[in-house]
Structure 1
Amino acid sequence: MGVVGAGILGLAVARRLAELRPDAELTVLDKEDRLAAHQTGHNSGVAHAGLYYAPGSLKATLCRRGIALLKDYCADRGLPYEECGKVVVARNAAELAPLAEIERRATANGVPGLRRLDATGLREIEPHAAGIAALHSPETAIVDFTAVARAYAADVTAAGGTLRLGTEVVRIGRRGDAVTVRTGGGEELVFDRLVICAGLQSDRVARLAGDSPAPAIVPFRGEYYRLVPDREHLVRGLIYPVPDPRYPFLGVHFTRRAGGGVDVGPNAVLALAREGYRRRDVRPADLWETLRWPGFKHLARRHWRTGVREMYGSAVKRAFLAEARAFVPDLRAADMVPAPAGVRAQAVDADGSLVDDFRIGRLGPVTTVRNAPSPAATSSLAIAEHLAGEILAG
């Protein structure tokens, strides 16, 4: 069996397959020379409790199962896992109804310990936060997902699996019931089953296996600032806005990190390369592929005003600061320094719809994970259970 992708999801799937089929020869392939090189390694580190997701969706079901498995796994492996809690803050009366909808969803999803707070209750949890109401999730946690991914990889190799880093997949074919994989080095590998968990490259690798063009990945860079050490006291845990239901992005928020520090962000601007973590990272072939995708044209036509606002916040620090100060008024420009950015693999359908739920496909012996956004890292062990059961049954 083969898995394409050595991020947290690919490694979790490989780990589960090795558990269920200890006699199988298992190989994980990744074009990078290190584990968790992209989305996992640039993750905000939040273990989500399941507040936002539509009840009954894969996101909701797998997030609740996943966070329980992740908590136990981190305890067993001695990995950082801190239940610092999260407040979702309504700044004005217009946000009270959306906040109530989040509370309804979270309750339906079985999120434990939820509390509705007024302005006084919010300040008891986060003394420097401003808002007229909030929803408190005390079991939302922070973790080091790169460390978790390394632990998954160690489990795979301990079970006899092989990690092939620096091995790019350039062609996928069929030979009878088997799947053939051609690598960039000209080697041909043969598997009875193949799972594609390729993150930012998931649509491209899925198309190599014969999958449809849709959905296509449109990369969005999320830019962060980090609080200087003597101002980290402004944030005790996680401070989030009430999200705009039109978008899968949560907006600028405050995130305490498992390794120390507090991040502010992210925004969401179009990345000019699939793996474009810096503004100067431009890959014309990637950009052209994005621009000619019909779904992107529809997306841009509908939401260009939001895109312009996000780009302005990216270019002008005081605009970014103003958005952040709406939640923590004591924040000053000098309190924030630039921090590493991430790139989100946002799946977009041909009609311009932003794909929200997990999107998983089957092409005979090939399983394609076409969309696995947040909370995929939180849900990784549960997604692996879900996928591995279907793969081995099929």
Structure 2
Amino acid sequence: MMYNTIIVGAGLVGLATAYQLKLKNPASKILILEKESGVSKHQSGNNSGVIHSGIYYKPGSLKAKNCIEGYQSIIQFAEEHGIKYDLCGKIIVATTKEELPLLDNIYKRGEENGLKNLQFLSKEEFQEIEPHCTGVKAVKVPQTGIIDYPGVAEKLKELFVNLGGEILFNQKVSQIINEKETIVKTENQEFKTEKIITCGGLYSDKLSKLTDPKNDFIIVPFRGEYYKLKEERKSLVKNLIYPVPDPNFPFLGVHFTRMVDGNVEAGPNAVLAFKREGYKFTDFNFAETLETFIYPGFWKIAAKYGKTGLGEIHRSLSKAAFTKALQKLIPEIQENDLVPGGAGVRAQALKRDGSLIDDFDILQKGNVIHVRNAPSPAATSCLSIGEKIANLI
């Protein structure tokens, strides 16, 4: 069968793209190919479950634009389809006076991105919201929320199939031939299509290079590990508590997140993973690790962030060190308050010169579109990203 569009990857971005395409072109034949046995098995199903507001992102960037638009879309989608969510808000807390200028910058960036009703809070004021939290000053972000992203993914799959779309699991794409015909080969089948969109997450670089070997970037996997607060200590956190991000590290830092199931997660850290889908410290893939270590850009980023990265590894191996990081926000937290939680792996795109691709990166060449970089807030932004790609098609 000839398909109008084949989409590789059944994470939130791939599913949302397929759904938006089907809404715009109901008669089109669209197929999703997924290497796993179900949807949202990696980044989409192993994240913190937060609806992001867009406060951190550079004004005018794809992250900022799609997060703001996607925020509205994901809430509307949840309302229409009974997906559990809660716009509970969050506070970003400066724990020292040295962090106050950084907190001011975050507030200004939020205003530049169009966020309304942001508030500076004194210690006394933010302790009315989070009584157990400490610090100097905070910004309240009312737009932030929590949601069931695996539930969103399942609903997108259901709607897409009900609209006549097809999805095949256990189909790992191994080759894309884009000459007179466009043929997508998996390990056991091949499919013809007019257009192809890859949304491969942790393997987005591999998929990009199937049609463009000169596509010179790699995905470096960073594992984020969580603890959960044990049942009798969940009352220490009411909603979401974030630190001021460390400007010397491209991640947000450990924080507290109330989940839609009522649990409270503490984390994540950001540890270099030795396997792209390595959810445990002991997970190891020689070829993938070697690829990271021989890439010139890795050593340049290691030189820049190495000291902070070693601290992340220390926190991964030491529960005491992890607890100490959490105590900056909630001093009452003790080691025995924490029980092991889950982990996710973030796909971070890295260039040869050692620079991180900090924005969403969507590359179109002819009848091929590659989503090369879609880290957080891609889950929040998925319906917006999907619509943008559908419009490109």
CA distance in 2, matches of 1:108, 1:139: 15
TM-score, normalising length: structure 2: 0.97
Query: Would you say the 8 A contact 2:121–2:139 is kept in 1?
Result: yes
- The AA in structure 2 aligned to 1:120 is E
Tell me the residue number matched to 1:195: 197
Tell me the residue number matched to 2:242: 240
3-state SS of paired residue (1:377): helix
Tell me the residue number matched to 1:226: 228
Tell me the residue number matched to 2:108: 104
- The AA in structure 2 aligned to 1:270 is L
CA distance in 1, matches of 2:388, 2:195: 16
3-state SS of paired residue (2:276): coil
Tell me the residue number matched to 1:131: 135
Q: Is 1:22 the equivalent of 2:26?
A: yes
Tell me the residue number matched to 2:303: 301
Post-superposition offset of 1:9:
0.5
Tell me the residue number matched to 1:143: 147
Q: Is 1:207 the equivalent of 2:209?
A: yes
Residue from 341, 344, 363 that aligns with 1:342: 344
Aligned residues: 389
CA distance in 2, matches of 1:221, 1:308: 14
Tell me the residue number matched to 1:62: 66
Call closer, same or farther: CA 1:353–1:246 in 2, change over 3 Å.
farther
Tell me the residue number matched to 1:258: 260
3-state SS of paired residue (1:351): coil
Query: Would you say the 8 A contact 1:211–1:363 is kept in 2?
Result: no
CA offset digits 1:56-103 (Å, max 9, x no partner): 111111101101011010010001110111100001111111101100
Tell me the residue number matched to 2:126: 122
Post-superposition offset of 1:332:
0.9
CA distance in 1, matches of 2:71, 2:248: 25
Post-superposition offset of 1:246:
3.9
- The AA in structure 2 aligned to 1:109 is N
Query: Would you say the 8 A contact 2:63–2:377 is kept in 1?
Result: yes
CA distance in 2, matches of 1:2, 1:259: 34
3-state SS of paired residue (1:264): strand
Tell me the residue number matched to 1:71: 75
3-state SS of paired residue (1:193): strand
Tell me the residue number matched to 1:358: 360
- The AA in structure 2 aligned to 1:275 is E
Query: Would you say the 8 A contact 1:81–1:258 is kept in 2?
Result: yes
Post-superposition offset of 1:356:
1.1
Residue from 8, 12, 15 that aligns with 1:8: 12
CA offset digits 1:197-252 (Å, max 9, x no partner): 00001100111122534321000011110000110010011000111234331000
Query: Would you say the 8 A contact 2:196–2:367 is kept in 1?
Result: yes
3-state SS of paired residue (2:379): coil
Tell me the residue number matched to 2:187: 184
Query: Would you say the 8 A contact 2:30–2:166 is kept in 1?
Result: yes
Residue from 14, 39, 43 that aligns with 1:39: 43
- The AA in structure 2 aligned to 1:320 is F
- The AA in structure 1 aligned to 2:204 is S
- The AA in structure 2 aligned to 1:146 is P
CA distance in 1, matches of 2:310, 2:141: 32
CA distance in 1, matches of 2:215, 2:341: 34
- The AA in structure 1 aligned to 2:72 is A
Call closer, same or farther: CA 1:211–1:134 in 2, change over 3 Å.
farther
CA distance in 1, matches of 2:67, 2:212: 30
- The AA in structure 2 aligned to 1:62 is N
Which deviates more, 336-345 or 210-219?
A: 210-219
- The AA in structure 2 aligned to 1:319 is A
Query: Would you say the 8 A contact 1:215–1:370 is kept in 2?
Result: no
TM-score, normalising length: structure 1: 0.97
CA distance in 1, matches of 2:355, 2:384: 26
CA distance in 1, matches of 2:55, 2:195: 35
CA distance in 1, matches of 2:360, 2:344: 20
Post-superposition offset of 1:292:
1.2
Matches within 5 A, 1:82-93: 82-93=86-97
Query: Cα RMSD (Å) of the superposition?
Result: 1.0
Q: Is 1:216 the equivalent of 2:228?
A: no
Q: Percent identity?
A: 43
Q: Is 1:172 the equivalent of 2:176?
A: yes
CA offset digits 1:267-305 (Å, max 9, x no partner): 111111010001111111111111111111111122211
Tell me the residue number matched to 1:331: 333
3-state SS of paired residue (2:111): helix
Query: Would you say the 8 A contact 1:247–1:354 is kept in 2?
Result: no
